[in-house]
Amino acid sequence: MAKKVLLLVGDYVEDYEAMVPYQAMGAIGIEVDAIAPDRKKGDIVPTAVHDFTGDQTYKELRGHNFAINKSFDQVNPDEYDGLYIAGGRSAEYIRLNKRVIEIVQHFFEKNKPVAAICHGIQVLTTAKVLKDRTLTAYVAVGPDIELAGGIWKNIPADQSVVDGNLVTSPAWPGHQAILRDFYKLLDITINL
């Protein structure tokens, strides 16, 4: 039976951090439902492309439109095997949505696999699920992790950190690492 994953996004989610996991999981047969607060099936959210161009932080450019394929108000987290939280601008405001926090807390209470990348970790800090957890995030989110009681690891952007049911990566160059570890947490084996 195919695994089912909930992908949490919002307006100005980082383009790669929504598109790549959605497509990569779908390519191996995982059923992925992409949701965003106040959006229904058939709606879109705008994405942002984050890249470094020599400034002290990333530059943000308008990306693609990302299609929502499940209505937010119809989500039952019991139906999902895992949760994937994309990063980008969206994380800082979707974490203010009470239902988003309840969904995230459900996955931790049930010890189901959770993946979060870059700024997506901001949703975890607000959900208060990081006490004594070791994880990573975009460098600017490191202090938030520590304030939430977690242990922040500053690692290269192409790596990931696993702690129990949680896998995190600092940014989109870590897709191969975070997805590989997320598949393991979902008990998915790919034989080539």
The residues annotated with a catalytic role in the active site are 119
Q: How far apart are CA 28 and CA 41, in angstroms?
A: 23
Q: Are strands 82-85 and 114-117 parallel, antiparallel or unpaired?
A: parallel
63 φ, ψ (degrees, to nearest 5)? -105, -145
Q: How far apart are CA 155 and CA 162, in angstroms?
A: 12
> How many helices (H) does the chain have, and how many strands (E)?
6, 11
Asked if residues 30 and 11 have their Cβ atoms less than 8 Å apart, the reply is no
Closest CA to 9 of 115, 106, 94: 94
Identity of the amino acid at 112? K
The pair of structure tokens assigned to 187 is 């008990």
Which residues have CB under 8 Å from 102's CB, separation 6+? none
The pair of structure tokens assigned to 55 is 């400034």
